[in-house]
Every structure is written in C-alpha cells, then in structure tokens.
Structure 1
Amino acid sequence: MSANSSGVTTRQDTRIDALDRRFQEFRDRVPVLRQRADAEGVTRIRTRTDMIPLLFPHTTYKSYPESLVAKGQWPQLNRWLDSLSAHRVVDVDVSDADDVDGWIASLERAGHLVSSSSGTSGKGSFLNKSARDCEANLQNLLDCLTGIGLPPENTWHVIPVGPDTGQSQHVAVRQLIIDSYARPDALPLFEGAPPAGFHRYMARLSAMRRAMADGTGSPDDLAAFEAEAAGRAAEQERRLRHYAEQVLAHRTERILFSSQFPQLFRLCEILREMGASDGDITGANALTTGGGLKGTSLPADYQEQIFRLLNITPNRFLHYYSMQELNVRLPKCVEGRYHVPDEVVLFVLDKSGESPAPAVDGVMEGRAAFFDTTVDGRWGGTISGDRITVDTGTCPCGGAGETVLPDIVRYSDLADDDKITCAGTMDAYVRGITED
C-alpha cells in the first residue's frame, strides 16, 4: 500500500482504481460534476488528492433558490435537481404537484426517490436517490445488525418509536425491520393519523424562522403554524404512550427498538410516569439508532438511563454514524469507535475542505468527507459539516482500518462558522447549468 498525502498508509489507499472507475462512469452523467472536473482540469483520479476538488459540499444539495418552493415552480426545481443527478429528471411530469410533498411524490412515481433533510438548521436539502440506493441502504442495515449478532429472525416484538416522517426511505427502513424481525404475534403498532405534508411542514418551519428573525411574520401566520406544530407534537405523544403501554404489557419478552435517542428518552420518561423502575423490564431488548440528539437537550447520562430502564446491553445495540448522503453506515464497536466500511472511502480534510488534514502519530482531526461507492442516483462524493477525529491504527476492539472517534461535532455548533471554501463555486456551477 502507498502512503496518502498526510503521510499515513491505510488500506483505503488501495481504492484509487475504484474511485477512478466511478469518476469515469459518472463524469458525463452528473452535469455539475462534469463542469467541476472541467474547471479543475481533472481527467483521471490518480491519487486521493485528485478526488478532493470533486467532492460536493453538503450545502450543494440545498443550493436551489427558495423562491422555487415558495412559488411552486416545480419544473424549475426539476431542472435544479437534474443538474445534481445521474438519472435525468427534467422530463418528469410535475403538473399535478400543489406543494413540495406533491413534487416529491411526482418524482417518486418516475423512480426518483428524493431524500430530504429536516432543515432544522434552516433550508432543507434534496438528494436524488434511485431504487438501487434504497436497496443498498436496506441491505447494509441488515448486514450491520447481523454483524453485532442480531441476524434477521422473526422472533422479536418491534417498536419503531418514530418520528414518522412519511419519507419513502424512512418508511422502507421501518418496514424492513418489521418484516425481518417481528414475530407473528408481535405487539400492535401505533395506528394514528398518517403524517401529512412533512416536507411542506418543514419548508414552512424554515420560512417561519426566517420571518421571525427579520420581523416579517404576521401574528396570524405564527398562530397557525404553532397550532400545526402542537398537533404534530400531540400525535407523537400519543404514539409514545401507546408504545409505553405495550412495553409494560410485554415487559418480559424481547423487544427491538428502532429510534433516535430523543424519542426513546421521552418514551422512558413516560414509562417512569406510569410507574416503571429500573429492573422492571426484563426482556433481552435491543436497539438500533443513528445520529445524535438533533439539537435536543438531554441529561449527560441519557443513554445509561435508557439502557437501564429498557434492559439494553452494548452487545444488543447498533449505533452508527451516517448521513443522508451515504447509503451505508459506519457501525460503532464495543470500544465506542465508528468503523469505516469497505464501500466507503474516508477523507479527513482541513476545515476549509480544500486539503487533507495533517496526521500526528496516525491520528487526524478535521472535516469529514466521504465517497460512497454504492451511490447510484447522484455523485457519491460528499464533504460534510462534521468535525471528526480519525485513528488509522488498529482499533482496541481488534478491528483493522480507519476508525472515527465518538467526539463528532458539527462545525455549525462551534464558535466558528461552517464555511467550505468551494461551496460558493459549486453553487455557481448549479446556477449556471439551471439558468442556461
């Protein structure tokens, strides 16, 4: 193996040929990638450094003019999405779309499984995914669960705590876990009102925050939005209370929870309100979750509280690091580190996203960037908003290869802003293509 530009030799340095193959395959399929490669004079990937200017900042997927959503200009939004897609979007009929959820539904009927961020920090992002992307994501989840000793067996009660966004990828993951793990007499799932207009709601949330910040929001608009938000919160509370009752009714039987930590912590609060104490729930329960706290403030020992009450042990816990730009997950080992799978090439860049971060004794700290070789619907290279620390040596668990240490933070949460140098240039490429 050869040494990378930080002077550290890793098994992933052997992936250059794979990166070049993906570049040659996608260069003329993704318009913005072609323009970026031409501008940088990149014709082949010979080193990892050659790939860096071709990694798309995560903000690229929110580079559309917000007026397109506000004014319902769906054909123009199609053209924006097409510039970042490997499968053509411009001919998709969106004439019956009356809001952003209708636009996404029209695209899904044509095979474009658009993934959207919640936009909790502002403007939401849209990524085009294909059926192959969805299949890769679902298979990877089963592989990760099998890897910790939880192969697909229909011997569990399953509790998908939520929230239920209605997004196709979230629905597919939820259904996969139910189909692969739920026993024939599994506890009843929550049958509340289906989520309505998730993307429309999140777009309104972003717009309302901006209006409140600049003083343009009317009291009536704010009251209407607050009423809708309260209704959604009440529905989530009903969901959690339903599942709390089911946990108590099946307290000695195995339950597989699929949830983010904030929802699961609230479930535990409800259980305690109902009289449950540590040791009352004795089933050998398991949990799969990804991501952090999503801006929620929880006690420092929130995870320990959850595990004690629900009787979840580390060997029955799949925690992973991932993001919507990736199909696959970086699973967390018993030593608390996230392992980089073979399908992903990891880059650790300086804060600006321009150069590799320096290595000191095989350890690098900087901006996380990835190339996911399984991505099909768009270009697989992404520069994230996360600051990570990576160890290129052998993990204390015995696993080889790079590992990401658990102290992952968003640059936007630090005192410094989350500014990637090439982000403005990438946005200009998108504008140039969509306005031609």
Structure 2
Amino acid sequence: MTPIRKQLVDMILDPDLAYDLPASDVEALQLRAAQELFEERRAQIPLLARRAEDAGIERIGRLEDLVPLLFAHTVYKSYPPSFVEKGQWGRMLQWLNTLSVADTTGVNVEGVKDVDDWLARLWEAGHRVLATSGSSGKCSFLNHTVGDHDLKKRHFKYSVGWPYVRSNADRTVFWLGPSRGTSSATEAAQFNFENFGKPGQTFALTDQPLRIADVSRMAAMRKKMADGSATPDEIAAFEQEAARKGAEGREGLLKLLDTILDRRAEPMLISGMWAQYMALIARARERGIGDGAFHPDTVVNAGGGIKGVALPPDYKEQVDRFFGQVVRPGNYGMTELAQVMPRCEAGRYHRAPALIWLIVDREGERLLTADDGEDGVVEGRFAFLDLLYEGRWGGLITGDKVTADLKPRCPCGRRGPTLFDNITRFAQPGEDDHIGCAGTIDAYVRGAIAA
C-alpha cells in the first residue's frame, strides 16, 4: 500500500480522531493518496487506463478529476448472462480479470458445477470475491484480496458501534441471518462475531452456507412472476419450495428468538431486520415479556427487511419501545464499500479519512459542491473512492440518492462533512438507473472479454 494511503487507512485506529478532522486537512491528503493510487492502478487495470485516456485524465489534481474515472455499480455484473447459464466459468474468470488487480484467469475451474463452486475456487486461490444478487437475479461479483478482508474487519472493529461502544469481544452476539457464505452480509456476521463476541457465545439464524445460486434463482423467478412470464408449473414449484423453506426458517427463527429472550438480562449485540424484530416482540408477548426488559448495554442494529412484508405503520416505534434504553448505533454501507460509515448522536453519517466522498449529479457526470445547495446542503448521487482496496479499483458511482451537509461541522460538534439519514435509491426495483458512464464502461468490458 502506498505511504499516504496507509497513513489515511491507519487513522481508523483512533476513531474519535478519525471522525473529527477538518475537511480541508483530510481532503489535501486524500488528493495525494488518490494520485498515488491512480498511478498504480492504471498500470494494473487496463479498463481504468482506457477510461482515463478517453477522459483526458493524466493526474488527480482535484476531486473533479476523479469523477470520470469512477465505475458505475452495474459494471460488477456486466458479464453476459450466458457465461453463467452455460457454465462458461473460464470466460467468467476472464471477465472478472478485467476488474481485478491480480490475475484471476489461472484459477482452476475444472469440474465447477455452479456459481457457488466457482466462488469457492476463487477463494481457495486467494481471491475473496463477494457476491450480491439484485432483483433481477443477476449477481455482482467484487474481488478482494486477503489483505482487503483483514483491513475491512479492522475497520468494522473500530467503526461499528461508534461513537457509543467499542468492540472488546465480550458480548453475546446474535445475527438474525445466515452466518456463512460469500456475501457481504455473511462477511459482516463473521466480523461481528470476531470483533464483539465472547468465545462460544455467537448465534446465527443458520450456520448453513448461503448459496448464491439459490438466491439468484429465487430472485429471477420473482421477476418472471412479476412480469407474467412464469408458467403455472414454475409458479407452483416455486411456491412449494418457498413454503418448505419458510417452515424451516420459522422453526429456526423461533429457537433463536427464545435464546435472545432467555439472555435479555445480559449485554448483547443483536443485528436483524425490522420484520424479525416484530417477530421477536410477538414471541415475547407469548411468553409474557413486556417492553424494556433488555440490559441497557445491549447493542441493537436494525434495518431493511420490509419489502413484501406487511408491517404496522409504527413498526419502528414499537421496536424502540420494546428494547427500551439500549444502545442504538447505525451504519451506512454496501457490498462495494470496505469502510462503513457510522451514525453519530445527531443522526448523521460520518466518513473515515481513507474514504473519499464524491456527491455527483443524477447522471454521475458532475461533482456537486456546497454552492450547488442551500446553506451547504446538497442532494445528489453518492459516489466514492475507497482507498483501502488492493484487489480492485475502489472508485464507484452508486445507485443511492443522498443528502450531504458540506459545512465544516456536524450538529454533533465533530468536524467534517456528513450525510443525512434519509438515503433512498434513484431507481425503484425493476427500473433502469441511468448513469452517464455506465454504457461506456460496459462497452470497454465487452471489448476486453471478446478480444
């Protein structure tokens, strides 16, 4: 890792300082680190070099210079679907290689049966590829090195729970989802277990590996059902399988919920979705347990999980009342990002020094500044350069619509820009999210794998 990048990445070891630095001081270092990284990566990733050449970018002298070099989030699923459908795993390696620093084309794929086998072979070869499946069922694949994984875990150690708690491996930890697999969610489960959990006192909904092939198949079937292309037999088989898995999941969830309730008098860390917490409340009521029965040092992380689930309008308020005076931190992150952003007491998200924020217009073509908003507050598309990564180029334009306060100080008193806790998507599920550079970069990828 280049010297200034390492300096910025290592600042997280003192999170109280890292999340309270003057923006001008941080951004001066960030620009120098971005130039270091750009010089290194354009020699390693031809896709980035091509993009820089076409955009006329020779060096990073200002934040605006980074914007044309950012990859659209869709590039990490830009492979032809036929590569997966026909089991062309060597071609998939060739595609992944266009987005990776280390050569992936030599990974042994003989005998690979499905995408989970393919991912396992990559992990065995030292490529910690994470997969995420969208509503279409088509996965994104993002390469990491073993070092990226370790630094990411370290970042979670100092950021998750900040500024309220520190991870000391002294809690019972509950993860209301699968704990093993190749997704960012299962990765986060393992980070929480290692950073917060007492030995032998970590619990998950299931320890069976989350299979990406199953997740993708279910997502693709839901899409077919929504657009009317699924046959009656396909729908019947899908519903039968969903019912079976639902029954199995319900049994496992009730067992886990009872364990949580049994330990409610001790400090815990619980991570789950809103619908699961509503199930916890229902189980508590069945057992005669009222609101506010949890240890005050319990940490509760909540989010997501409401699509297609009927919840009362006040579900968040019900969950708050049920847990009572516990610790309620928050984080903003995504699979493409190594450095999650913690939420402060004022309800704002803060950045680590090694994460460059770039708030751009909807098309992803122009950097927004304080002059584009009122009183330093701007609304735009979230983009970033994550300086931590060694496995790939960490510059990305996301699909997230954010409100950023670019004034020099947060209402919590700390210095630096912040994001409001009102993040949404520019496109709804099933809609196209047009980003100006997406088509160009996809064309680069297609040309590289066709060569």
TM-score under structure 2 length normalisation: 0.86
Specify the alignment match of 1:59 in structure 2: 74
Q: Is the partner of 2:446 in helix, strand or coil?
A: helix
1:159 CA drift (Å): 1.0
1:409 paired with 2:424, answer yes
Distance in structure 1 (CA, Å) of the matches to 2:37 and 2:273: 33
* Distance change (3 Å), C-alpha of 1:170 and 1:211: closer
Distance in structure 2 (CA, Å) of the matches to 1:22 and 1:419: 28
Distance in structure 2 (CA, Å) of the matches to 1:12 and 1:267: 43
Specify the alignment match of 1:328 in structure 2: 339
Alignment of 1:138-157 (within 5 A): 138-145=153-160, 147-157=162-172
Alignment of 1:67-82 (within 5 A): 67-82=82-97
Matching residue's letter, 1:329: V
Which residue, 210, 213, 217 being the options, matches 1:200?
Answer: 213
Specify the alignment match of 1:5 in structure 2: none
Specify the alignment match of 1:275 in structure 2: 288
Alignment of 1:124-135 (within 5 A): 124-135=139-150
Distance in structure 2 (CA, Å) of the matches to 1:434 and 1:202: 26
Matching residue's letter, 1:390: A
- 2:131–2:184 contact (8 Å) kept in structure 1: no
Which residue, 371, 378, 382 being the options, matches 2:392?
Answer: 378
Deviations 1:238-265 (A, max 9, x none): 2321122112222222221123434333
- 2:44–2:101 contact (8 Å) kept in structure 1: yes
> Please, which moves more after superposition, 245-254 or 292-301?
292-301
* Distance change (3 Å), C-alpha of 1:223 and 1:130: farther
Specify the alignment match of 1:295 in structure 2: 307
> Please, which moves more after superposition, 156-165 or 214-223?
214-223
Distance in structure 1 (CA, Å) of the matches to 2:156 and 2:325: 19
1:75 CA drift (Å): 0.6
Matching residue's letter, 2:358: F
Deviations 1:332-358 (A, max 9, x none): 011111011111110111100011232
Aligned-pair identity in percent equals 37
Specify the alignment match of 1:111 in structure 2: 126
Distance in structure 1 (CA, Å) of the matches to 2:342 and 2:312: 24
> Please, which moves more after superposition, 37-46 or 102-111?
37-46
Distance in structure 1 (CA, Å) of the matches to 2:381 and 2:149: 26
> Please, which moves more after superposition, 23-32 or 116-125?
116-125
- 2:360–2:366 contact (8 Å) kept in structure 1: yes
> Please, which moves more after superposition, 391-400 or 291-300?
291-300
Q: Is the partner of 2:31 in helix, strand or coil?
A: helix
Matching residue's letter, 2:347: G
Matching residue's letter, 2:37: R
Q: Is the partner of 2:329 in helix, strand or coil?
A: strand
Distance in structure 2 (CA, Å) of the matches to 1:262 and 1:29: 44
- 1:10–1:392 contact (8 Å) kept in structure 2: no
TM-score under structure 1 length normalisation: 0.89
Q: Is the partner of 2:440 in helix, strand or coil?
A: helix
Distance in structure 2 (CA, Å) of the matches to 1:231 and 1:100: 23
Q: Is the partner of 1:268 in helix, strand or coil?
A: helix
- 2:132–2:183 contact (8 Å) kept in structure 1: no
1:65 CA drift (Å): 1.0
Specify the alignment match of 2:297 in structure 1: 284
Distance in structure 1 (CA, Å) of the matches to 2:295 and 2:432: 46
1:13 paired with 2:27, answer yes
Distance in structure 1 (CA, Å) of the matches to 2:190 and 2:220: 32
1:158 CA drift (Å): 1.5
* Distance change (3 Å), C-alpha of 1:21 and 1:110: same
1:242 paired with 2:249, answer no
Specify the alignment match of 1:41 in structure 2: 56
Deviations 1:407-430 (A, max 9, x none): 111011399852101111111010
Which residue, 130, 133, 138 being the options, matches 1:123?
Answer: 138
Q: Is the partner of 2:328 in helix, strand or coil?
A: strand
Distance in structure 1 (CA, Å) of the matches to 2:60 and 2:168: 43
- Provide the alpha-carbon RMSD of the alignment: 2.5
1:190 CA drift (Å): 5.3
- 1:159–1:258 contact (8 Å) kept in structure 2: yes
Alignment of 1:159-308 (within 5 A): 159-164=174-179, 166-167=181-182, 169-183=184-198, 186=201, 189=203, 192=206, 194-195=208-209, 198-213=211-226, 215-282=228-295, 284-288=297-301, 292-293=304-305, 295=307, 298-308=311-321
1:294 CA drift (Å): 6.4
Specify the alignment match of 2:8 in structure 1: none
- 1:161–1:264 contact (8 Å) kept in structure 2: no
Q: Is the partner of 1:133 in helix, strand or coil?
A: helix
> Please, which moves more after superposition, 256-265 or 25-34?
256-265
* Distance change (3 Å), C-alpha of 1:214 and 1:337: closer
* Distance change (3 Å), C-alpha of 1:12 and 1:299: farther
Deviations 1:129-188 (A, max 9, x none): 1112211221111101463242233432221111446226544432343344334574x7
Distance in structure 1 (CA, Å) of the matches to 2:188 and 2:431: 35
1:338 paired with 2:349, answer yes
Distance in structure 1 (CA, Å) of the matches to 2:221 and 2:113: 20
* Distance change (3 Å), C-alpha of 1:116 and 1:185: closer
Distance in structure 1 (CA, Å) of the matches to 2:38 and 2:313: 44
Specify the alignment match of 2:404 in structure 1: 390
Distance in structure 2 (CA, Å) of the matches to 1:195 and 1:183: 22
Q: Is the partner of 1:323 in helix, strand or coil?
A: coil
1:61 CA drift (Å): 0.8
Distance in structure 2 (CA, Å) of the matches to 1:227 and 1:165: 25
Distance in structure 1 (CA, Å) of the matches to 2:111 and 2:179: 25
Q: Is the partner of 1:20 in helix, strand or coil?
A: helix
* Distance change (3 Å), C-alpha of 1:283 and 1:247: farther
* Distance change (3 Å), C-alpha of 1:193 and 1:86: closer
* Distance change (3 Å), C-alpha of 1:414 and 1:334: farther
Q: Is the partner of 1:428 in helix, strand or coil?
A: helix
